[in-house]
Amino acid sequence: MLSYNFKYELKLLLRSKWIQILIVVLLALFLFAGYNGQQKVTKRIADIDAAQLEMKNADAIMLSLLDSIENGLSVNSVPYWRTPDQPTAAGNNYPRVAAMTPNALTFTAVGQSDLFTHYIKPTVTGEDFTLNFGELSSPVQLLFGSFDLAFVIIYLLPLIIIAFSYNILSYEKEHGSLKLLASEPISLFRWVLQKVVLRFFWIAVITILAIVVTLVVNQVSFPGNLSKILAFVGLTLSYILFWFTLAFLINLWLGSSAKNAVGLMGFWVILVLVAPAAVNQMVNALYPMPSRTRMVNEMRALKAASSKKQDAILASYLRDHPEYAQQDTAKYSYWHRYMASQKVLKQELEPLLNTYENQIKKQQEGISKLRIISPAIIMQESLSGIAGTSTLNYEDYRKQVVDFAGDWRDYFLPLLYRNETFTSGLVTGLPQFEYRERVKIPVLLNILLILSGGVLLSGLGLVLYQRNKARGNLISN
Amino acid sequence: MIRKIIVKESKEILRDGRFKIALGIVLVLLALAVFIGAKQYQNTQDQYREAENHERNMWLNQGEKNPHSAAHYGTYAFKPKYPLSLIDQGVDKYTGVSIYLEAHKRNEAQFSAASDQTGLSRFGDLTPDFILLFIVPLLIILIGYNSFTKEKENGTFSLLKSQGISGFKLSLGKWLATLLPIAVITALLFVLAAIILSTLKDFGNFHVATLLTLFLVYLLYYMVFTNLVLFVSYKAKNSGISLVVCLTLWIIACFVAPKTASNFADKKYPYPTRQEFATNVLKDKEAGLDGHNPFSKEAKRIEENLLKEHGVDSVEKLPFNFDGYIMQKGEEHEAEVYFKHYKVLKEQFYNQTKTYRTLAAISPFLPVRFLSMSLANTDYETHWSFADAAEKHRVAMQAVLNGDLVENSKTGDWDYLAQPELWEKIPAFSYEPPGLSENLRRNTGNLALLGIWFAITFSILFVVTKKI
């Protein structure tokens, strides 16, 4: 019966041009979305490359300046307070580019990448807590979001499934062929199930095709990114299956085609539009970010206080670091005092700054717990995780940059306190930044969560079917 | 006749269980959104006031200080929240709320709410504008998708024809009946908002006229949707197809079009990265004159001219503080550099805006989205005007501080301390957002687009349904 149904269904889908339409529509959507995402990634890579090139050029200048200074030549091209033999000048004017390089699948989900910057140049005297990770982008753009693969999969794919399967049973009913069907030696439940499964099969095949074509077009190496690609496909298929089980349930539960469509649409609105927004707002209410304006106030009060007692701070700093103390106190410059008080400031601000980090961590945990409410949330978290553009990825990048900024500072600080000069020999030993993608997403667990939602729904479908059958209103109603 | 149709259709709509459920959900969502919004508004406003007072106190109580130290210490300009943000949050979530005003540097607004939230926030918020822009059109579809198809399906169409009713009257009746519940819900929301806004203490520049204009804009938006839905319902073979086509239109208009437009605008008129922008500014600053850089050519020229003018041979002999003077010149130059670069940025913004306006041809959502945020003063343009006002304040502030240095101290005397009275000479930063007429003037394009959308869809609907 299944093979018979399969053949009949395929013929039907081909004759009604559904398969052809699906191939064209899905391919077009995926390719367009992939193109959009790739545009952003290309710009990101170009920006980072430009910054690296600029750094290389600056390094060449620095080396030639150091060379001149070391050979006792006078340097006129830069003002005296910027010659790179001074550790602070070198560490401030010739920073490294701490770049967050994209992965092969970054183009699939824009995620938070339009909100945050992808390279930072930490300096010696710069403050870690004022490093601006925000990107210069139009807020209108951020508001509208991007037409990327994640959008196509999370928002549009369910709608296509709805349009494809809202009237499986009701169509037969409305065209009078249901009674004919009921006389066939197959239970209606089975028949609907087979139809839904076959339609799932076709959408799954076409979606995989679209994904593969999109990946090929965007030159993603398959062996190199196998786990990411498998995770991407697995999540997408489970999400598709979830919507098909929902369609199955609605088909058995409601009556007319229009009612089915309205019902499915209602689920879509609640699961895709309302639930994520509600969870976000709930999490924000549960773990509110402390006022940033208040933070600004506190930071400034602390700064004002510390600038008044810079001498005392330096003295206490040198007590802690006797290795830096010098006989001649007149040699302590502005930078000595500044760096010492900077350290104190950082320590004093740490608890305040940690509250922000902790709150966002708690929010993220809250979402992890509440993600079972909607598969759209799970998908969004997972897809942006695979693309390396999730909030967690950017938090992690921020941490890596702050760590690097510490390394950078620690490289120059001993020179400053020992009143030594920065020399060309030290250039090769400068700390280098390399971004590592350390955030892992529980892909299998997420797939299981989405699927269990589907199982739950199909169980419900079975119960509803039995009830309708017992009442005898499956065909007549 | 029209009245009879309206009564009949309304009765049918009201009896429909789906409509009741949907209406219930929408009302609950609306109430929730308004409630959350009002709380949020109050909260932000309190924080804003506290921060502003605190900052002003810090500034005034600096004690004796060198004016240039005070300039570096700087102050903050905080962006207030406007009453109608209760209805439309616009881009507020994505723009910073505070701008640091310091010597030598124009800073961007910092700390946008979005960067302090998880990626989930990109799904949007349950705010009144979300419901007004996305959900209410969906409700229109729900009410209107079978307006004509049900007559066909129930076989009442031929009955209707036999009554000798004119197509125009029939359509108009159905049109009004579809719009009526929507208008009532929207009116309810706006009345609720008006009540809440007028009970909030110090509700700023809230004007009933703006609220009313906003209401009319949304009403026009819903009329466009009603036209489209009824047209589809008239043309569709059956209710199912009509619903699917309407939903496709909705998805394209409200989701696909804005996102595509945003990608398109970004590709065509990209913003520089923050670092690129900073580097460009730095380059220009260095090529010209830098307040801290006495080796600069321009400073040298000014110095020579001054010495000649006053007939002295060194800057120490000038009757005023040369350092302060040259610093102010540097400040002015830097302000020009920033002006130049921000102008470039602004041009990209205007170009992007134009792109959105061109693409409004594919979606009535776009002009309404922009109009709504503009009227609520939560749009990007208002943010620009706030940032420009802050920059103006910063430049004026530097002039006062450097002026004090020039007049009251000697060249090279960096130990000079200004008296606390000086800090009072710099007024607190205040910003007045554009009013209704200004906003309407800025949005004539969007208004025209919305008008065109209405005119075209309305005429198509009534031309097509003229002959039934």
Contact (CB<8Å) B118/A163? no
Question: For B32, which residue in chain A has the nearest alpha carbon?
Answer: A278
**Selected residues 15-44 of chain A with any CB under 8 Å from a CB in chain B:** 36, 39-40, 43
Which residues of chain A fall below pLDDT 70?
1, 254, 310-333, 472-477
B275 touches chain A (CB under 8 A): yes
Closest by Cβ to A135, choosing from B22, B120, B273: B273
One-character DSSP codes across A11-30: HHHHHTTHHHHHHHHHHHHH
Pairing between strand A98-99 and A119-120? antiparallel
Provide, as residue numbers in chain B, all residues whose Cβ is less than 8 Å from the Cβ of A378. Answer: none
Provide, as residue numbers in chain B, all residues whose Cβ is less than 8 Å from the Cβ of A142. Answer: 91, 94, 114
Contact (CB<8Å) A140/B91? yes
In sequence order, which residues have a C-beta less than 8 Å from that of residue B184 and are 6 or more positions away? none
Q: Compute the count of residue pairs across chains A and B with CB atoms less than 8 Å apart.
A: 230
Burial class (CB in 10 A: 0-12, 13-18, 19+), B386: buried
Q: How far is Cα B173 from Cα A172, in angstroms, rounded to an integer?
A: 34
Closest by Cβ to A284, choosing from B117, B263, B349: B117
A116 touches chain B (CB under 8 A): yes
A47 touches chain B (CB under 8 A): yes
Q: pLDDT tens per residue, chain B (468 residues)?
A: 778 888 888 888 777 777 777 788 888 888 888 888 888 888 888 888 888 888 888 888 888 888 888 888 888 898 888 888 888 988 988 988 888 888 888 888 877 888 888 888 888 888 889 999 999 999 999 889 888 888 888 888 888 778 778 888 888 989 999 999 899 989 988 998 888 888 776 666 678 899 999 999 999 999 999 999 999 999 988 888 888 899 899 999 999 999 999 999 988 999 888 888 888 888 887 776 444 554 467 777 888 888 888 888 877 778 888 888 888 888 888 888 888 889 989 999 999 999 998 888 889 999 999 999 999 999 999 999 999 999 999 999 999 988 888 888 887 777 788 888 888 888 989 888 888 899 999 999 999 999 999 999 999 998 988 876
B345 touches chain A (CB under 8 A): yes
In this prediction, residue A237 carries a pLDDT of 96
Q: Measured between CA atoms, how close is A163 to chain B, in angstroms?
A: 7
A390 touches chain B (CB under 8 A): yes
Evaluate whether B391 touches B106 at the Cβ level (below 8 Å).
Answer: yes
Q: Is the Cα torsion angle A233, A239, A241, A244 positive or negative in sign?
A: negative
Contact (CB<8Å) A292/B239? no
Q: Measured between CA atoms, how close is B199 to chain A, in angstroms?
A: 24
**Selected residues 50-69 of chain B with any CB under 8 Å from a CB in chain A:** 50-51, 54-55, 58, 62
Question: For A162, which residue in chain B has the nearest alpha carbon?
Answer: B244
In this prediction, residue B112 carries a pLDDT of 82
Q: How far is Cα B247 from Cα B205, in angstroms, rounded to an integer?
A: 38
Q: How far is Cα B133 from Cα B214, in angstroms, rounded to an integer?
A: 12
In this prediction, residue A447 carries a pLDDT of 94
Which residue(s) pair with A186 in the sheet? none
Closest by Cβ to A281, choosing from B18, B126, B383: B126
Question: For A157, which residue in chain B has the nearest alpha carbon?
Answer: B251
Question: For B352, which residue in chain A has the nearest alpha carbon?
Answer: A138
Contact (CB<8Å) B263/A364? no
A279 touches chain B (CB under 8 A): yes
B256 touches chain A (CB under 8 A): yes
Q: Measured between CA atoms, how close is A129 to chain B, in angstroms?
A: 12
In this prediction, residue A340 carries a pLDDT of 76
Contact (CB<8Å) A112/B126? no
Q: Measured between CA atoms, how close is A398 to chain B, in angstroms?
A: 12
In this prediction, residue A192 carries a pLDDT of 82
Q: How far is Cα B217 from Cα B186, in angstroms, rounded to an integer?
A: 11
**Selected residues 207-236 of chain B with any CB under 8 Å from a CB in chain A:** none
Which residue(s) pair with B100 in the sheet? B76
- Look up residue A137 and give its DSSP letter: -
Among candidate residues B39, B80, B74, the one with its CA nearest the CA of residue B55: B74
In this prediction, residue A206 carries a pLDDT of 95
Evaluate whether A5 touches A194 at the Cβ level (below 8 Å).
Answer: yes
| Model confidence pLDDT, tens digit, residues A59-93 | 999 999 999 988 888 887 777 778 888 888 899 88
Closest by Cβ to A296, choosing from B73, B76, B135: B76
Contact (CB<8Å) B273/A116? no
In sequence order, which residues have a C-beta less than 8 Å from that of residue A426 and are 6 or more positions away? none
Contact (CB<8Å) A159/B251? yes
Q: How far is Cα B267 from Cα B272, in angstroms, rounded to an integer?
A: 12
ipTM computed for the complex: 0.90
Provide, as residue numbers in chain B, all residues whose Cβ is less than 8 Å from the Cβ of A51. Answer: 275-276
In this prediction, residue A452 carries a pLDDT of 92
In sequence order, which residues have a C-beta less than 8 Å from that of residue B140 and are 6 or more positions away? B178, B179, B182, B222, B225, B226, B229
B142 touches chain A (CB under 8 A): yes
Question: For A294, which residue in chain B has the nearest alpha carbon?
Answer: B51
Contact (CB<8Å) A277/B277? no
In this prediction, residue B24 carries a pLDDT of 83
The CA radius of gyration of chain A, in Å to the nearest whole number, is 30
Q: How far is Cα B186 from Cα B131, in angstroms, rounded to an integer?
A: 10
